[in-house]
Amino acid sequence: MFPALLSEKEASPLLPVVEHHHHHLQITTEENCCRRQLVEYALLLSSLLLTAFQFLVLYAFDGTCTSSNATLSQIAAGLHFSIPASLPTAVVFFVAAPYIARAEHIVVVSAIELSADMSITRPNPRFLTRTNRSFTSQIRSYAAPGEGTIPFAKKKYVPTTGTYPLGFRAGSAYSGVKASNTRFDDLALIASDTPCAGAAVFTTNKFQAAPVTVSRDMLKKRKGEGIRAVIINSGCANAVTGRGGIEDAVSMANSTDACFLAPNNSVDDLKGSRSIVMSTGIIGQRLPIQKITAKIPTAYHNLGATHDHWLATARAICTTDTFPKLVSRTFKLPSTQQQYCIAGMTKGAGMIHPNMATLLGVICTDAPIAAHPLRQALIAAISKSFNSISIDGDTSTNDTVAILANGAGGGQPVLSTASPDFQSFQETLTAFAVDLAKLVVRDGEGATKFVTIRVTNAATYKDAHRVASTIARSPLVKTALYGKDANWGRILCATGYAEGVDSVIPAETSVSFVPADGSGELKLLVQGEPEQVDEERAAKILEAEDLEIKVQLSEQEGEEAVFWTCDFSHEYVTINGDYRS
């Protein structure tokens, strides 16, 4: 639109513009200008009078000190220094300030009460953006969660004790990767006392980070055998960093390997690195590799097997996480009924969506699982855990989940995927991975709700999973949940546009809310027909932190998939708008 065609109201750049239909309350631009000029003249006149008084005291005083003019003597002495010092301030105040005020179109508006037919219109978007950024930067700073910073509502998810696998130790150190983090550990090391089997699954993002490439190549070269450690830095993702990033990831691995090749500790098997490397943080920046490699020996020195060691290590891999995510438990294999331990940590609060959808995760067990069945068990577990969560629909460049098994718990090795022990271990690992993945969703950036999406009666599991995933990443569904709005039409809309799904039968589709308190579900849509929704009960259900959305695609018995997600809040925008600061 050409400027000449703008109306007087549209062309005005003033902020705010106050309109009213009653003439006696209308404030015009001319009145504002006059008021501003009067204020400026009054300030200028006051300054001139004050300056005249200062010079009168300074130059009219004859310098003799008597009891009657002792006070004036002190004032005069002070003015010798204060007047020159005040001149720059006067120039800024009376020359620069009015100029800036005019340039920014600042309007002085008296305080009035806005009635029903008054409105503030056409805010200057540049002014609002500038103002919002200044306030945001003052009130928010994100770093790894330290002592005392975990929100009260999230403390229940942080374990106070744990049972950890034999032969594994964890440690952390501070390296100062990110300038805004001045005291929290940002380097984590999880190590086995003996070489062990290892496996990992990685992001499907085409811009895969350097540590993903280096770790995948290492595991492939070693065929998942002889692994000793996982080394992780937070604060910088080492993603999209070219050849230099690859070199940095290799340096991290080599520095970690060197800790295990000390005299009387280990012998190099000449098969290359033994360490899996992970990084998380800002994309597109090189690692301060000298800082990191200098502190890897410190992390190695800090290794320990206690709960505090594991918890501190879980905290060290955090970025925008509000709490460390650590889980441990015991299990048995049917062949011997011998007890084993499994422990794991994960990090992630944003950029979470399959495939993979973890950001980072490390799982360790002292069960004797060989490399090949270990990898198969991990792939199966990931499908129904970390690949079934979504926070914002973005798949990270660094997503990695690794598992190590050192067999320190004893017993016969599990060598085949056909053995009963393997089936039992796979079920244990899947349930364990689900619990870890849920913690990621519960810590979603700015999230206020933990939402389970259950899709039933699909022709295939893939169809059910695709529908659940589509609902989980719908911004309209997620914002409605944040607003406690039982807008089931958005759920149905997402169900209908799920790509590659043939299982949806509109005339047989049903949607309902399932309360977390165990009471009966609230039916919203039954076989394609809308229900008379009890809005009061719906509001009560949506007030709770936990909620389940159930979608039945047809009346025929079929496959079921479960997905976990959270809502979208104002806080999510704030966090990601300031992430690099």
Q: Tell me, what CATH number does 463's domain have?
A: 3.10.20.340
| Contact (CB, 8 A) for 550 and 112 | no
From the list 241, 346, 358, 565, the catalytic residue is 358
Torsion of CA 468, 473, 474, 478, to 10 degrees: 100
In a 3-state reduction of DSSP, which class is residue 78?
A: helix
Report the Cα 549 to chain-centroid distance in Å: 24
Lowest mean pLDDT among 12-21, 190-199, 526-535: 12-21
Query: In this structure, is residue 106 part of a structural domain?
Result: no
- How does pLDDT run across 496-506, given as a tens digit for each residue? 999 999 899 99
With 60 as the cut, is the pLDDT of residue 295 above it? yes
Query: In this structure, is residue 435 part of a structural domain?
Result: no
- Counting every residue written for the chain, the total comes to 581
Q: Which of these, 319, 432, 440, 338, lies nearest to 380 by C-alpha position?
A: 432
Helix H or strand E encompassing 491: helix 488-496
pLDDT average, residue stretch 508-519: 94
Burial 146-174 (b: 16+ CB within 10 A, else e): eeeebeeebeebbeeebebbbbbbbbbbb
- pLDDT tier, 322 (very low <50, low <70, confident <90, very high otherwise): confident
Q: Provide the pLDDT for residue 414.
A: 97
Q: Helical H runs in 362-412? A: 371-383
Lowest mean pLDDT among 81-90, 323-332, 395-404: 81-90
Query: In this structure, is residue 403 part of a structural domain?
Result: no
Please tell me which residue, 433 or 144, carries the higher pLDDT value. 433
Give CA–CA dist 26/566, Å, rounded. 47
Give CA–CA dist 128/220, Å, rounded. 53
If one counts the domains in the chain, the total is 1
Give CA–CA dist 280/287, Å, rounded. 11
| Straight-line distance from the first to the last Cα atom of the chain, in angstroms, rounded to the nearest whole number | 37
| Contact (CB, 8 A) for 212 and 406 | no
Q: Is 204 noted as a catalytic residue in this protein? A: no
Query: In this structure, is residue 48 part of a structural domain?
Result: no
| Contact (CB, 8 A) for 105 and 15 | yes
- On whether 548 is known to bind a ligand per the annotation, the reply is no
With 90 as the cut, is the pLDDT of residue 320 above it? no
Show the CA angle centred on residue 561, arms to residues 515 and 405, nearest 5°: 110
With 50 as the cut, is the pLDDT of residue 125 above it? no
- On whether 400 is known to bind a ligand per the annotation, the reply is no
Give CA–CA dist 9/12, Å, rounded. 6
Query: In this structure, is residue 490 part of a structural domain?
Result: yes
| Contact (CB, 8 A) for 289 and 251 | yes
Q: Range of 529's domain?
A: 450-578
Q: Can you count the helices (H) and strands (E) in the chain? A: 16, 17
Please tell me which residue, 44 or 148, carries the higher pLDDT value. 44
Give CA–CA dist 378/376, Å, rounded. 5
- How does pLDDT run across 470-482, given as a tens digit for each residue? 999 898 998 889 9
- How does pLDDT run across 99-112, given as a tens digit for each residue? 544 443 333 333 33
361 has which bridge partners?
346, 401
With 80 as the cut, is the pLDDT of residue 77 above it? no
Q: Provide the pLDDT for residue 568.
A: 82
Q: Provide the pLDDT for residue 444.
A: 78
Query: In this structure, is residue 322 part of a structural domain?
Result: no
Give CA–CA dist 520/236, Å, rounded. 47
- On whether 295 is known to bind a ligand per the annotation, the reply is no
Given phi > 0 = left and psi -120 to 50 = alpha, else beta, which region is 580?
alpha
Q: Provide the pLDDT for residue 356.
A: 39
pLDDT average, residue stretch 304-332: 94
- How does pLDDT run across 547-571, given as a tens digit for each residue? 999 999 999 999 999 999 988 887 7
**How are beta strands 450-458 and 389-390 bridged, if at all?**
unpaired
- How does pLDDT run across 394-438, given as a tens digit for each residue? 455 668 999 999 999 999 999 999 999 999 999 999 999 999 999
Q: Provide the pLDDT for residue 573.
A: 73
**Full-prediction pTM beyond 0.75?**
no
- On whether 445 is known to bind a ligand per the annotation, the reply is yes
Report the Cα 282 to chain-centroid distance in Å: 11
Please tell me which residue, 116 or 526, carries the higher pLDDT value. 526
- On whether 571 is known to bind a ligand per the annotation, the reply is no
Share of the chain above pLDDT 70, in %: 71
Query: In this structure, is residue 506 part of a structural domain?
Result: yes
- Beta strands per DSSP E along 211-255: 227-236
Q: Provide the pLDDT for residue 81.
A: 55
Give CA–CA dist 311/321, Å, rounded. 14
| Contact (CB, 8 A) for 399 and 356 | yes
Query: In this structure, is residue 485 part of a structural domain?
Result: yes
